[in-house]
Amino acid sequence: MNLIKIFLAIPVLVIVMIPFLKVKGNGIVVFLAIVVNSMLSGYFAFQALSGQYLEFAFTGSLVTGPVNLRIDALSGWFIMIINFVFITGGFYGLFYMKAYQEQKNNLRLHGVAFLLIHTALTGLCVIQNSIVFLIAWEIMAISGALVVMFEHEKMAAIKAGQNYLIQSHFSILLLMIGFIWVAFKTGSYDFSAITAYSSANPEGIGLILFLVFFAGFAIKAGFVPFHTWLPYAHPAAPSHVSGIMSGVMIKIGIFGILRMITLVKCDFYTVGMIILTFSVISGLYGVMLAIMQHNLKKLLAYHSIENIGIIGMGIGIGCIGLGNGNYLLASLGFAGGLLHTLNHALFKSLLFFTAGNIYQATHSLHIEHLGGLIKKMPQTALLFLVAAVAISGIPPFNGFISEFIIFSGYFNWMQSSVLGPLMTIIFSVLALVLIGGLAMLCFTKAFGIVFLGNPRHKFHDEIKEVPFLQLLPLYLIAFFIVVIGVFPQFFLNVLSQPVQLFTGVPAPGIIPFQIKTGEILLPLTTATWIFIVIIASTFIVRKWVMRNRKVVIGKTWGCGYLAPTEKQQYTAGSFVRSYSKLFRPFISSSKAEKEVHGIFPSDGAYQTTIYDHLERYFIDNPIAAFKSLLGRFSFLQNGKLQFYILYGIVFIVTVILVPYLYDQIVLFLEFIKQI
């Protein structure tokens, strides 16, 4: 209890101190506060992952009632992920934000918001009172908007922050509806009331309640079609914030969905099919749009949607396993989803941090303007490549392990399925395969255009590698990406406690989760180590053969022809031209070009712009219709003071009459009943 009070006191103390500190000290103090709070929360998370269920009770207030904090294995898993990403992102941010030292007040506000996000995210994993949960969710939403709008002098940042804030409040509205519904029926704000209410009511009520919560959490997670805020917020935010938003902030939506699965009692088979449908669409749609992006961070943002889809696939087949009574399927599904949550937090934060290095060196994220950066920034290139291979699901890195477990779940489900579910399995497996293939295409384009070839644009500043200390947290992330890939069983053993929350204690005769996953991964792990040995041996032999040879560095090979201008290299658009023509019906694109004239033209231009179809249907068109509706009432704003006074009088009279008329109607209905 005392440690929890210290955890809550540290942010308050730091926020009070920040106005009196120098700019250089702000970041250090905030980072140290996050480290200390990560150690405190990590202590409880470690206990929970070891099998200890922790609960703390606070008296609360007249409004909230008792406030309980419960730390189980699911909370522990997400707290560990949040802490790791914030520590690495915070350390990276100390160096990244040096370029903004002149913006003193802006940096102070950024530090406060950054600390509040960490505190709110950690709190959301343990709070069991709906009112306090919504308060923490609101703190996270407002603080997130502030860090997105850090560069508020840019209109794009302001619009992205507003978009994020509005859609975050749609999420809060849906969550409020669910919590108020339960509180109205039970009289309790504790999460245990959700279980009691859904258990005591028909299946349909539980399913509707779950869907309300699912929609609220899906907006934060970025499931399609609730994703439209995400491709704007990630590129607008500073890179360390983008890494944290993609790594853990959207994952709190995944946590909320998983928490509701443990609380709401309903038809899990139907729930699983619904989640699986949204997930397959999100995975395919996200990667399809990612391929066409020209802004590097926007490309990565759409890949967040894709990976949320992959996580959702694991959760979906886990719920289907619960509904069918197939606990091995449930274990594989939830384990794959939870492990991919960690894996995505690692390789996506690494990708955003390396994108930040590129932006600091070139002041551009336009892929078509970049090129040849591997010669100037070799360490950043290597780290980006590791993360790109991992996110594409290629061994021996971590992304392959979690996707392989989800594939194993599909094949387990296939063995006991009839025709209807079998078609669902086949389509889902094909979707997951297609997602992996398209991700490889996307990151081949991104890495090839950004780092290989020759520079396509002349930048004013010298391009050079960032300092080693700024690269240090990136190497730490890359280390865990590799470790999970070659030692997956250790992390799956840690996951046994969170998975058991969903599946329950294994019944006699059922193979324990750890043993079964060990059997599944043993051939894979063996093949991975053989592959590593072959690669290491090849490099050793190459080093020995080349020991006495002189190394000469020349210009990049131009396929036998050195083009007179670097702009005749492959562009990002030309690289995926065949893909864009194939999927043209699903992709909204426009082009602007300046025609070339003459035998020896001096200039020309061609640019394509990609727009999200669903954003047009779900955001732009409803807003346009709403504006049109409001325009019909523009006559009310006529500039005449007399009318405005009349509007006020009408409003006051209406406020007085409505309760009176309501009472009269109630009395009349009672009189009718008596008759």
* Residue 253, both tokens: 């939506």
Residue among 222, 243, 130 at smallest CA distance from 171: 222
Residue 621 counted as domain residue: no
Amino acid identity at 542: R
**Nearest-10 Cα torsion for 124, 125, 130, 133:** -10
H/E segment holding residue 608: strand 605-611
Q: Is the dihedral of CA 343, 349, 355, 357 positive or negative?
A: negative
Residue 125 counted as domain residue: yes
What pLDDT is recorded for position 421?
82
What pLDDT is recorded for position 644?
82
DSSP H helices, 152-295, are 155-186, 192-199, 203-221, 230-236, 239-244, 251-263, 268-291
Residue 20 counted as domain residue: yes
Residue among 442, 454, 314, 313 at smallest CA distance from 389: 442
Do 50 and 194 lie in one domain? The reply is yes
How far apart are alpha carbons 627 and 358 in whole angstroms? 40
How far apart are alpha carbons 251 and 257 in whole angstroms? 10
What pLDDT is recorded for position 614?
79
Distances (CA, A) of 442 to 254, 448, 576: 25, 10, 8
Residue 160 counted as domain residue: yes
| pTM of the full structure | 0.90
Quote the domain boundaries for residue 458: 324-504+513-537
Residue at token pair 């080693």: 468
What pLDDT is recorded for position 52?
87
- How many degrees, rounded to 5, is the angle at CA 366 between CA 107 and CA 458? 100
Do 235 and 371 lie in one domain? The reply is no
DSSP strands (E only) in 27-181: 54-61, 65-71
How far apart are alpha carbons 155 and 149 in whole angstroms? 9
**For the chain, what percentages of helix, strand and coil (3-state, to nearest 5) are there?**
75, 5, 20
How far apart are alpha carbons 659 and 272 in whole angstroms? 45
Do 359 and 490 lie in one domain? The reply is yes
What pLDDT is recorded for position 132?
94
Residue 484 counted as domain residue: yes
Tell me whether the omega of the peptide bond preceding residue 455 falls within 30 degrees of 0, making it cis. no
How far apart are alpha carbons 167 and 636 in whole angstroms? 29
Q: At a CB cut-off of 8 Å and minimum separation 6, what does 630 contact?
A: none
Residue 89 counted as domain residue: yes
Do 333 and 244 lie in one domain? The reply is no
Residue 301 counted as domain residue: no
Do 247 and 367 lie in one domain? The reply is no
How far apart are alpha carbons 172 and 431 in whole angstroms? 31
Do 348 and 250 lie in one domain? The reply is no
Do 241 and 367 lie in one domain? The reply is no
Do 518 and 643 lie in one domain? The reply is no
Residue among 353, 151, 345, 138 at smallest CA distance from 250: 345
How far apart are alpha carbons 238 and 153 in whole angstroms? 13
* Residue 290, both tokens: 């990612």
What pLDDT is recorded for position 143?
94
Do 134 and 250 lie in one domain? The reply is yes
Do 236 and 119 lie in one domain? The reply is yes
Overall domain count for the chain: 3
Residue at token pair 């609220």: 216
Residue among 187, 189, 100, 102 at smallest CA distance from 150: 100
Residue 205 counted as domain residue: no
Do 498 and 362 lie in one domain? The reply is yes
Do 342 and 442 lie in one domain? The reply is yes
What pLDDT is recorded for position 204?
81
Q: Which segments of the chain have a pLDDT < 70?
A: 1, 202-203, 505-516, 556-568, 590, 592, 598-602, 604-606, 675
